[in-house]
Structure 1
Amino acid sequence: MPVFENKDVTLNYATFGDSSNPALLFSNSLGTSYHMWQPQIDVLQTEYFIICYDTRGHGKSSAPTGPYTLNQLGQDVIDLLNHLNVDKAYFCGISMGGMTGQWLAIHHPDRFHHLMLCNTAAKIGNEAAWRDRAQLVREQGLAPIAATAAPRWFTAGFINDYPDVVAALSSALAAGSSEGYASCCEALSVADTREQLKDIRVPITVVAGIEDPVTTVADGQYMVDYIPNAKLATIDASHISNIEQPEAFNKLVRQYLNIQ
């Protein structure tokens, strides 16, 4: 796969489909890689020019010593779009990727037609908990986090019905970069867009999982209440909704990121 040498980081990315189609960029969640988007890549690459990348510290992207900032996570996206000569794109990010999308909507609205912010919040969790998790990971590695990830990511029914999918994602998390994960935790510890939501001037769809214990429907509704041009869509899933309910998720992408 191609890589982009950018400032302090090497970003691993991949593109799918015809570059003459509208560009749609996907941004992964904490502890995953761009491969989490395979259910979307398989179905949507005939309609969009899909761009996927591993967030810094994740997958095959490099993990420079942190802490990272939300500004860095967002600027990596802008730099990648520039590298690919994409002037304007659609965007879909989940959890941490949705937080990155908020930064993009606030700071670079001219680069996006529409952003889908999925299973995310204007403020995810609290600073102390994120810093504690970063310290744990630096001291003990990612195995303890991976061992307890499944109930945060998926409903009990999905865990029971698709154990191979859950095991593969958990194993990939355990094998990831401890420094990269911890540094992203530190970025999330202070990331807070609540005061800036009112300034967003690009169409937004917030997707919330009805069973999501991490970023709730109420978190999604809060964002919609404060973003001037935003809509809320719900999906019968937990936190990693694009994997738990791929058909429903893809339907929402087609519905809200409709090609004009």
Structure 2
Amino acid sequence: MDLEYRLDGPANAPVLVLSNSLGTTWTMWDAQFTDFNKYFRVLRYNTRGHGNSPLNGGKMSLASLGKDVIDLMNHLNIEKASFCGISLGGMTGMWLNRHYPTHFNRLVVANTAAKIGDTDAWLTRAKTVRTEGMQSVADGSASRWFTKDYIRARPGIVDALVDGIEQLDPLGYAACCEVLAYADLREEVAKMERPMLVIAGEHDPVTTLAEAEWIIERASDAQICLVPASHLSNIACPVMFSRQTLNYLTSGATHVIND
């Protein structure tokens, strides 16, 4: 198993898989980790092309990213888990819901869509990053990820994330842009069997509330939660994100979080 991963928490606790967004690493979950670890054995991994997870030598796809999760679970002898992913990680979760439903209890997919953005725009970004490096996308990342108010209020957090995207491998980032260029689950949503919570950012310009509602209207078992954030809602609204996620994932379990 060549994916970079960490598995933390009590060996007898149920497992929660966390999947990062494009341009981030597993550190994006730092604000959630303590709360999640009270109820789950937390499996964090870096999507290929991010952190120390290498490209696989072939052309990546949403299917290959999803199969990476299944391979990792098999490697760790995890038969069933809960899942939480954001943006690209959310799309990975929806793909897993469609193709490997028996491996999961419930899934939380945040700031995502059945089809994210425009194919040509993603391909253009991939080409730009390969020729000009990560600085070409880092400069505009803060405004895509956060509201103006949050950027003013939390400059340290924002700057650290922008620094992080600058350190990514351009080839890995570009490969994931190409995954998003062709990833399209619009014909698959109605066939997703497992329960999902769709978290949407009220001010998200990348994956809008309307796109989250589109999923809810078509999925067989899905709920929506709106948070006052832009695209990285787990960072902008960490307490609300953690509470809503845990409420949903532990519903019907022995330990339930009360509002």
Find the aligned partners of 2:86 and 2:218 in 1 and give their Cα distance.
19
- 1:109-148 equivalence runs, <5 A: 109-148=101-140
Question: 4+ runs of 1 displaced by more than 6 Å?
Answer: none
Partner residue in 2 for 1:242: 234
TM-score normalized by structure 2? 0.95
**1:70 and 2:65 matched:** no
> What letter matches 2:160 in structure 1?
A
Partner residue in 2 for 1:160: 152
**1:186 and 2:178 matched:** yes
SS of residue in 1 equivalent to 2:165: helix
Find the aligned partners of 1:65 and 1:76 in 2 and give their Cα distance.
14
**1:28 and 2:20 matched:** yes
**1:58 and 2:56 matched:** no
Contact 1:122–1:194 (Cα < 8 Å) also in 2: yes
Deviations 1:164-214 (A, max 9, x none): 111111111011011111001111101000111111111011110001110
Contact 1:64–1:180 (Cα < 8 Å) also in 2: no
The match for 2:7 among 15, 22, 27 is: 15
TM-score normalized by structure 1? 0.95
Contact 1:16–1:41 (Cα < 8 Å) also in 2: no
Deviation (angstroms), 1:65: 4.4
SS of residue in 1 equivalent to 2:4: strand
Find the aligned partners of 1:156 and 1:85 in 2 and give their Cα distance.
44
Which region of structure 1 is more displaced relative to structure 2, 16-25 or 114-123? Answer: 16-25
Aligned residues: 252
SS of residue in 2 equivalent to 1:114: strand
The match for 2:222 among 217, 230, 234 is: 230
SS of residue in 2 equivalent to 1:80: helix
Find the aligned partners of 2:57 and 2:97 in 1 and give their Cα distance.
27
Find the aligned partners of 1:84 and 1:200 in 2 and give their Cα distance.
25
Q: Which runs of 5 or more structure 2 residues have no equivalent in the other structure?
A: 254-259
Q: Which runs of 5 or more structure 1 residues have no equivalent in the other structure?
A: none
Deviations 1:124-155 (A, max 9, x none): 00110000000000000111101110000011
**1:41 and 2:33 matched:** yes
Contact 1:67–1:184 (Cα < 8 Å) also in 2: no
The CA RMSD over aligned residues, in Å, is 1.0
Find the aligned partners of 2:246 and 2:37 in 1 and give their Cα distance.
12
